[in-house]
Chains A and B, each alone.
Chain A
């Protein structure tokens, strides 16, 4: 009998369960699709030079961590279902059914729906995992073919995870049903929204904000005490004082409100303005320390980053908390707007909802900021890493040495690294280009100069330099007898380069004085190991001069006809390390890099980073949008009544539809606009701090293009949610 009831219930209330099924399906699809990569049966053709195991273990951990977030969503959707069905439960218990049984029936129903979602989800997951495979193979620069495979272990993981979460949530639900009184269930639909104005969370948030402000104030005073100098540029002085004055202003405002016994809204409005001022002051710390080379440590920058985050979080919370009061104030001040058509009704709708859900809205907003940040930061970070990979692994094999710990000239690296030649011969690897060369100190006297900020720039002979350029397919350069030129790292800023060249129009060397050539610099990427540590520039001297200089670094770059396999690379790396230990007794430091190994680990790490971030962002985004849309649909019963009153008052359908659209626009628009504002600040700050890397390894145009694509995808996702909420909302209000 009960089984029949369960199936009939499930069938009849399919419409109610639609939201549940859709949400669960999205969760299962995402979970399956992303986890499928870590399956032991997953074996994409990424070529013999790459190893895949590194990737799958990392993936599994990342996916499982992020998926914990989904539990929250499952709980929320269950809560929604529970509220929808309260009246039905009430009737069942009045008829004499035990509440325990009702709980079990509901659990069985949700389980059936959950199972259906798992089935559909896995089906869609198989489709989606194709996208991820495509993403993976693109990352490894391989061509891509569609293959339809179901991975048994991933299916098992997915089913176990979701069944487990259904069980956990189901137990909670059964307990909730058992504890609810029949009368509460009966009147659930008529329940008024809680009275506005008694939310305590904002007071807690304000107190926490005050405490952090005290900390920021003390830090500000300390920094001025220890580091301030009247000779600093005006913006820097402003920054130092701003970081004392604005926190002080925040504290004084609170004291003023306490003494005057002002209203809570007045206090929060003041704090909101202060949080913006504080945010400007704290954000300027990193920006100015970059620009003016201020001697502020990473610890302090991180501390100010924390202050900035707190300011932003409080700003979001306070803004949403006050949004209702702002609307009320605006409404009070302008009778023309207030008494225009259905405006009063609209304001009533918005403020009543805002006042009762400001906490949820704030959480949604913060989560959205995180999601947007993850979406945008993923391509920046991976672009940075792969751009850097391009710069790092320009040669199939590069051997390099460092003299940082060599204190005697006889111990300097002089070797030709023949071990590689032997290994190549034994394994039939043919080099295309092979160049072993030295880097020289212009002045021998600089050999003992080991101060980090004043490390000497080294020089290369013109013939070696041209050999490497030939290897990389660049044009050859020529120098007159007493001339030199410079070669620059990609990361060096233009101003740095120009000022260096202006200061070094001639160089005094042990072989004579050289003047700068008509072509003073080259900026083509030539790898990281071509430069001395802590320097971004390399001199290029005529060969004759170099013969008289002290060689301090010995490098060897090789390109091969075909890619070195992953196993060979590992083997050669081991042999090399045995003969040339990283820290030799002489003090010289040797190292070998294979593009195979570097590419493999970078791509794998990149991929984990990228998929992890995108998965996290999608999950957070889906959570936010589902919660936003459910919040509206949850009250559809109440709205139905309100809109029916309007209809009776003589408002036509066209106006009612307009009102619904307007209400949903505000409901979705407010958190999204606040989130976009906050995310813009965070991302702006983030890009600003790594602007050198962005321009060196990604390029601003590419970055903007990527951000544009992501914003487009986000907009489509948002539009889908908006339209479906709108349709369901209209149906439930009009029915």
Chain B
């Protein structure tokens, strides 16, 4: 398998002088093509900072991030926007859909920004809508559809340009349990059928159980790594809960 994303000794500090907060201490890991990686951790553990660094929204203090051959940390600020739109797809907790556009137009915008020929825009939208089961709501506005549908639309928008890496930040954070389940199945099918590489940040064990590998962060460092392997999702879920128990209240804390 070829490595699609590789992080080498990433560090991120905030503040200056004697008052420095280390958000990320020293993190290194790599993601293989077609992998579904979950990143878990309590709030303040540095998971969102990590995602921001990978997505080039934030810069690193030290270390390198490679997306295939490209060193993301070396890209000039002017070319960042272009890099993002050509290589990355985003799914956010609060959907980030534009309420002035219909669902179909929201998806089309991502294509248009990427200079897709006008003729091929609509067929591609129909194709992706079919896959994500949002064909009937294409002409509705975001305020007319449910949260789950909104998030599926956001997914469609994120993957329509066939990004090399799909980044999801708490995608189920604003959804009820039923919608969460449906969305996660969708994301899983995106991973399995479309062979998309996904990096998902979450603090929810159930959500994380859909991933094939999970990195647990604590205080800016990788605390543990879990692989699903051949486990069932339920077994994997139990394992995750165990790790979370350790993170939340390790033995040193009890003593």
Judge: A and B partners, yes or no.
yes
| Chain A interface (Cβ < 8 Å from any Cβ of B) | 192-193, 335-336, 338-345, 348-349, 351-352, 642, 644-653
Indicate if the CB atoms of A648 and B96 lie closer than 8 Å: yes
Residues of B within 8 Å of A335, CB to CB, are 118-119, 121-122
The 7 closest A-B pairs by CB, nearest first: A650-B85, A348-B100, A652-B81, A650-B84, A352-B100, A339-B118, A335-B118
Residues of A within 8 Å of B80, CB to CB, are 652
**Chain A nearest Cβ from B70, distance in angstroms:** 15
Give residues 224-240 of B contacting A (CB, 8 Å).
none
- CA distance in complex: A649, B108 (Å): 12
Partner of A652, one of B82, B88, B105, B143: B82
Indicate if the CB atoms of A344 and B112 lie closer than 8 Å: yes
A348 touching B92 in the complex, CB below 8 Å, given contacts A192-B143, A340-B112, A342-B109: no
Residues of A within 8 Å of B116, CB to CB, are 339
**Chain B nearest Cβ from A72, distance in angstroms:** 29
Indicate if the CB atoms of A650 and B113 lie closer than 8 Å: yes
Give residues 152-199 of B contacting A (CB, 8 Å).
157
**Chain B nearest Cβ from A357, distance in angstroms:** 13
Q: A-facing mask of B140-156, CB < 8 A → 1, else 0?
A: 00010000000000000
A650 touching B81 in the complex, CB below 8 Å, given contacts A335-B121, A345-B101, A348-B101: yes
Q: CB of B208 within 8 A of chain A?
A: no
Partner of A342, one of B84, B100, B113: B113
Which residue of the partner chain B has the closest CB to A352?
B100
**Chain B nearest Cβ from A277, distance in angstroms:** 35
Indicate if the CB atoms of B101 and A649 lie closer than 8 Å: no
Which residue of the partner chain A has the closest CB to B79?
A652
Q: A-facing mask of B31-68, CB < 8 A → 1, else 0?
A: 00000000000000000000000000100000000000
- CA distance in complex: A335, B119 (Å): 7
Q: CB of B110 within 8 A of chain A?
A: yes
Interface size class of B (residues with CB under 8 A): 20 to 34
Partner of B100, one of A336, A338, A341, A642: A642
Q: CB of B246 within 8 A of chain A?
A: no
A343 touching B85 in the complex, CB below 8 Å, given contacts A338-B118, A348-B98, A648-B96: no
- CA distance in complex: A647, B109 (Å): 12
Q: CB of B99 within 8 A of chain A?
A: yes
Partner of A649, one of B85, B100, B143: B85
Which residue of the partner chain B has the closest CB to A656?
B81
Partner of A651, one of B105, B108, B113, B143: B113
Which residue of the partner chain A has the closest CB to B95?
A645
Q: CB of B86 within 8 A of chain A?
A: yes
- CA distance in complex: A341, B118 (Å): 10
Taking each of A193, A336, A351, A651, which has the highest tally of chain B beta carbons within 10 Å of its own beta carbon? Answer: A651
Q: When A and B form their complex, what is the total count of cross-chain residue pairs whose Cβ atoms lie within 8 Å?
A: 80
Residues of B within 8 Å of A193, CB to CB, are 99
Taking each of A193, A342, A344, which has the highest tally of chain B beta carbons within 10 Å of its own beta carbon? Answer: A344
- CA distance in complex: A544, B134 (Å): 105
Q: CB of B253 within 8 A of chain A?
A: no
**Chain A nearest Cβ from B175, distance in angstroms:** 18
Indicate if the CB atoms of B119 and A345 lie closer than 8 Å: no
Residues of B within 8 Å of A351, CB to CB, are 100
Indicate if the CB atoms of A342 and B81 lie closer than 8 Å: no
Q: CB of B216 within 8 A of chain A?
A: no
- CA distance in complex: A272, B118 (Å): 33
- CA distance in complex: A338, B85 (Å): 19
- CA distance in complex: A642, B105 (Å): 14
**Chain B nearest Cβ from A662, distance in angstroms:** 15
- CA distance in complex: A335, B105 (Å): 12
- CA distance in complex: A513, B117 (Å): 90
**Chain B nearest Cβ from A648, distance in angstroms:** 6
Residues of B within 8 Å of A336, CB to CB, are 118
**Chain B nearest Cβ from A469, distance in angstroms:** 74
Q: CB of B90 within 8 A of chain A?
A: yes
- CA distance in complex: A647, B115 (Å): 16
Indicate if the CB atoms of B82 and A344 lie closer than 8 Å: no
Besides the known contacts A342-B109, A645-B96, A649-B85, 17 further A-B residue pairs in the complex with CB atoms under 8 A apart: A335-B122, A338-B108, A339-B118, A340-B118, A342-B112, A344-B109, A348-B105, A351-B100, A352-B100, A642-B98, A648-B57, A650-B82, A650-B88, A650-B114, A651-B81, A651-B85, A652-B81
**Chain A nearest Cβ from B201, distance in angstroms:** 15
Indicate if the CB atoms of A649 and B109 lie closer than 8 Å: yes
**Chain A nearest Cβ from B75, distance in angstroms:** 12
Residues of A within 8 Å of B96, CB to CB, are 644-645, 648
Could you write out 9 A-B pairs with CB less than 8 Å apart? A336-B118, A345-B100, A345-B109, A642-B98, A645-B96, A648-B92, A650-B83, A652-B82, A653-B81
- CA distance in complex: A642, B113 (Å): 15
Partner of A341, one of B81, B84, B115: B115
Indicate if the CB atoms of A344 and B118 lie closer than 8 Å: no
Q: CB of B217 within 8 A of chain A?
A: no
Indicate if the CB atoms of B111 and A649 lie closer than 8 Å: no
- CA distance in complex: A192, B100 (Å): 10
A343 touching B82 in the complex, CB below 8 Å, given contacts A348-B101, A352-B100, A648-B92: no
- CA distance in complex: A10, B138 (Å): 47
